[in-house]
Structure 1
Amino acid sequence: MKNLFIIALTIIGLNVQAQEAKTYLIKSGYIKYQLSGSTKGTKELWWDDYGRKTCETEKSTTTTKMFGIKNTEEKHATTVIVKDKFWVADYIDNMGSKGRVPMYQEGQDIVGDMTEKEQQEFADEVLASMGGKKMGTESLNGYTCDIIKLMGVKTWIHKGLALKTEGKILGIETNEMFVEFKPKMSVSSSKFNPPSGVQFEGLAAQADAQGFGSLFGGMEDLQEEENEDEEFTPVDYPFDKFSKIVKDCNIEGYRCVNVRTMDGMHVASFMKGLNSIMVMAQSDENMGDDEEVDSFETFEHNGRTCHYGDLEEDNGSAIIVEYPSDDMIVTFMAIPKKSKNDLIKIVNRMQF
């Protein structure tokens, strides 16, 4: 059986009918930046479909000095992203890489059903959880911008688009300022084709040649692993009942951002900034043998058999509760980890 928690992470929120979230609030356009500081040069951005399609080209020279040693790095690269696919062309090394954006659909679905107000509130929560804050607003050449400070970097954002960035991290000064801005400009669809002039390799093949195959190979093959021969028995528990229970549950500080049913499993996710709680109901026939579950502590709670343990790779924890009268198990997973008592409190609030 596949790892229950990988399944939870990869299917949460999947729904092909969900409205895709907008990255930018302007449908299409073009920006050119002047780069200064440790990196000097230019960067250009074209976008369409509210940022679901982007093409970025950068030509720059970065100079750093550490322990008296000066290092200079040239960059000439183009990155094209079309929804969940990307291509990166490095014209200095004459190499190209391609792949899929990790967790793209999950991210889209988390905010896709929110109103713009709810999306803004969620963005503010994420910003605060990362230690960032809003510094107010300022007009740049007539464009009203929100000023965001995060990790020592200030960014002026106009309708989702960064018009100016300045900061210094580990002695590297980064400054970007727009010198040309054409909002609502029509952009040719050919701009979002894979860049020409280089041969593209998947991340796994390229990383393997550099000794990082296990890292990127796992990312690239994740989708393929999800589609292997493993079959799941659908849960009989009514989705309408599951949905009502989780939506009526109040977890302090969290909001329910997604409730979905797919491939015979019911899944809900709650978010508090970057912290998440996931609830997944599936048939007990799917539990089978799982090494991670086998290492969990088994105990009884309110007459039900439960299993609690830490998820080492994800810095999370989970409780699996058995519901034999419904031929069902429900997994309550928290990232970052919560104690057994904290998760039991959540279990108690959801009376399946």
Structure 2
Amino acid sequence: MKNLILILLVTLGLNLQAQEAKRYALKSGYIKYELSGSTKGTKELWWDDYGRKTCEVEKSTTTTKMFGIKNTEEKNTSTVLIKDKYWVADYIQNSGSTGTVPYYNEGQEFVNEMTEEEQKEFADEILAQMGGKKEGTENLNGYSCDVIKVMGIKSWIHKGLVLKTEGKILGVETNEMFVEFKPNSNVSASRFNPPSGVKFEDLSSVTGGFMGALGAFDEEMDEEENEETIAIDYSFDKFKKIVNACNIEGYRCVAVNSFEGMHSASFMKGMNSVMVIAQSDKNMDKDEDLNSFDSFRHNGHTCHFGEEEEENGSALIVEYPSDDMIVTIMAIPGKSKDELLKIDDKLQF
């Protein structure tokens, strides 16, 4: 069960990463920030093609103190992102990672199918579900900014670019303030070359790609990934046709994929996500994987419903023995058994 939830969380995060067809409303430029608070130092950002190309360099020192223990962390990194390709260089560790953001094209299609009003509504929906709110507009050194507060962090945003942030989370104070801003200035193409001086590790796989640059999964996930997955026999074309015809009220289908022997579809409503996963029934150990699930019959199928309090999710597992297949419908945040059964009724596998 845990591996399915991790797949959903990765897919959700990567879809969100890819959703901005244009990250900024300004075509190109440069910003330099002064960092203060628990983290002191500088951060620089160059961008072009409305943010489809970015280069960020940070040199900073973060000092924290918890339970009387003082910790200091140095940072000297360079990150280049060109559409779905990224390079992250850590000059202190003398290491780097590179890869491709999965589902990038699907994310672009998802946004491009929206009108500007729908995109705004979608962004507002995500902000609300994260507990954030808009606090109006303010003039910051001559630039009109939307002021947004979310998860304890207050940001001043000008045409999609954050000019200032301030906040405090778990005793860690974070402040950024722009000290140079050159909107619509020309940026040399060489700025977006991969950082030099380190050897890059390729992290292009779906589950290890972009997230690999942010931190590896725990050991349990690594062990699960090493287990052999038996590929599903069910036609992917048929799976895709069925999920594309499934209308979940308020949700949009943002990605349909087949990888590592499984088919999957992701539906999103703001930050809420529903995922449909079809895999071979030989991959499931019912005694171990379903011992905490409620089992019952529905529309001639054996079904299992369970909740994951730690991940704030729920799942409905439906058996299709004639196709040697199990279908998992998973929701984060969780939905009731009846709500997931209504989705199952719309999926005619």
Please say whether Structure 1 and Structure 2 have the same fold, judged by a TM-score greater than 0.5.
Answer: yes
Closer/same/farther in 2, CA of residues 27 and 327 from structure 1, 3 Å limit: farther
Cα distance in 2 for residues equivalent to 1:170 and 1:324? 50
Alpha-carbon offset, residue 108 of structure 1 = 2.8
- After superposition, residues 133-172 of structure 1 pair within 5 angstroms as 133-172=133-172
Counterpart of 2:316 (choices 314, 319, 329) is 319
CA deviation vs aligned residue, 1:144-192 (integer Å, no higher than 9, x gap) = 2111111222101112210111122333332222122222233223222
- What is residue 207 of structure 1 aligned with on the other side? none
Alpha-carbon offset, residue 242 of structure 1 = 4.5
- After superposition, residues 284-295 of structure 1 pair within 5 angstroms as 286-291=280-285, 295=291
- What is residue 244 of structure 2 aligned with on the other side? 243
Secondary structure of the structure 1 residue equivalent to 2:125: helix
Counterpart of 1:258 (choices 240, 245, 254) is 254
Matched, 1:215 2:218: yes
Cα distance in 2 for residues equivalent to 1:216 and 1:48? 38
Secondary structure of the structure 2 residue equivalent to 1:346: helix
Closer/same/farther in 2, CA of residues 327 and 20 from structure 1, 3 Å limit: farther
Closer/same/farther in 2, CA of residues 187 and 131 from structure 1, 3 Å limit: same
Closer/same/farther in 2, CA of residues 171 and 267 from structure 1, 3 Å limit: closer
Amino acid at match of 1:86: W
Closer/same/farther in 2, CA of residues 233 and 181 from structure 1, 3 Å limit: same
Cα distance in 1 for residues equivalent to 2:175 and 2:5? 41
Matched, 1:275 2:278: no
Closer/same/farther in 2, CA of residues 306 and 25 from structure 1, 3 Å limit: same
Cα distance in 2 for residues equivalent to 1:162 and 1:230? 46
CA deviation vs aligned residue, 1:33-65 (integer Å, no higher than 9, x gap) = 122334333211012233233211123344555
Cα distance in 1 for residues equivalent to 2:244 and 2:130? 30
Matched, 1:347 2:344: yes
Secondary structure of the structure 2 residue equivalent to 1:86: strand
TM-score, reference length from structure 1 = 0.73
- After superposition, residues 84-233 of structure 1 pair within 5 angstroms as 84-90=85-91, 93=92, 95-100=94-99, 105=104, 108=107, 111=111, 113-201=113-201, 215=218, 231-233=231-233
Cα distance in 1 for residues equivalent to 2:26 and 2:49? 8
Matched, 1:36 2:32: no
Secondary structure of the structure 1 residue equivalent to 2:282: coil
Cα distance in 2 for residues equivalent to 1:13 and 1:113? 20
Contact persistence 2:98–2:200 (CA under 8 A): no
- After superposition, residues 34-73 of structure 1 pair within 5 angstroms as 34-64=34-64, 73=73
Amino acid at match of 1:290: M
Cα distance in 1 for residues equivalent to 2:9 and 2:59? 37
Q: Which moved more, 1:264-273 or 1:30-39?
A: 264-273
Closer/same/farther in 2, CA of residues 256 and 336 from structure 1, 3 Å limit: same
Alpha-carbon offset, residue 136 of structure 1 = 0.8
Cα distance in 2 for residues equivalent to 1:69 and 1:304? 56
Closer/same/farther in 2, CA of residues 349 and 81 from structure 1, 3 Å limit: same
Cα distance in 1 for residues equivalent to 2:311 and 2:35? 37
Alpha-carbon offset, residue 193 of structure 1 = 2.4
Closer/same/farther in 2, CA of residues 23 and 170 from structure 1, 3 Å limit: same
Cα distance in 1 for residues equivalent to 2:36 and 2:87? 27
The alignment's C-alpha RMSD in Å is: 4.3
**Quick one: percent identity of the two aligned structures?**
59
TM-score, reference length from structure 2 = 0.73
Contact persistence 1:43–1:58 (CA under 8 A): yes
CA deviation vs aligned residue, 1:233-259 (integer Å, no higher than 9, x gap) = 243748555433x13x42xxx422426
Alpha-carbon offset, residue 135 of structure 1 = 0.7
Cα distance in 1 for residues equivalent to 2:24 and 2:254? 22
* Equivalenced residues, count: 328
- What is residue 209 of structure 1 aligned with on the other side? none
Closer/same/farther in 2, CA of residues 327 and 27 from structure 1, 3 Å limit: farther
Cα distance in 2 for residues equivalent to 1:9 and 1:64? 29
Q: Which runs of 5+ in 1 are unaligned?
A: 205-211
Q: Which runs of 5+ in 2 are unaligned?
A: 209-214
Amino acid at match of 1:215: D
Cα distance in 1 for residues equivalent to 2:71 and 2:170? 15
